[in-house]
Amino acid sequence: MYLCKFDGAGKRTATVVDGVHFSTDEEKQKYLDDGYIETSDDDYAYYIGNRGTGANGTGYVRGADGKPTDAPAIVVTTEQVQASIAADYESQISELKDALATATLAGDESLIAELKSEYTEVKAEYEAALKGAE
């Protein structure tokens, strides 16, 4: 038997196991008094992901009826998408700047021109990707 604790959204936040964390009724009662709920082996399998990821691909939470139900879909914000885009492009831009500095120090004019062109293309792609995420 498992005793699980859930947050307000029904997400499992902690688990204790009979015979591992408690072995007497008194020890078990301390967990129950602390908000843990008796959970069957079958329900526990849903909460830990052994029964798939649910209809939304986000797993299962404890529903209002006390049984596992599909967790809500994850909603990605515009800010999160833009931060991901920035992380992808900023590393490319940084590498191009480093390569340009090296080419400049070496005096390699053809490489400098090539890197400047590539830098302009990447910056344009970056700006377009950010606008597309709005």
Write the burial class of residue 47 (CB in 10 Å: 0-12 exposed, 13-18 middle, 19+ buried). Answer: buried
Dig out the tokens for 23 from the structure.
Answer: 């072995």
d(CA 116, CA 119): 5
Report pLDDT digits (tens) over 4-15.
999 999 999 999
Report pLDDT digits (tens) over 77-105.
888 999 999 998 998 999 999 999 999 99
**Position 131 pLDDT exceeds 90:** no
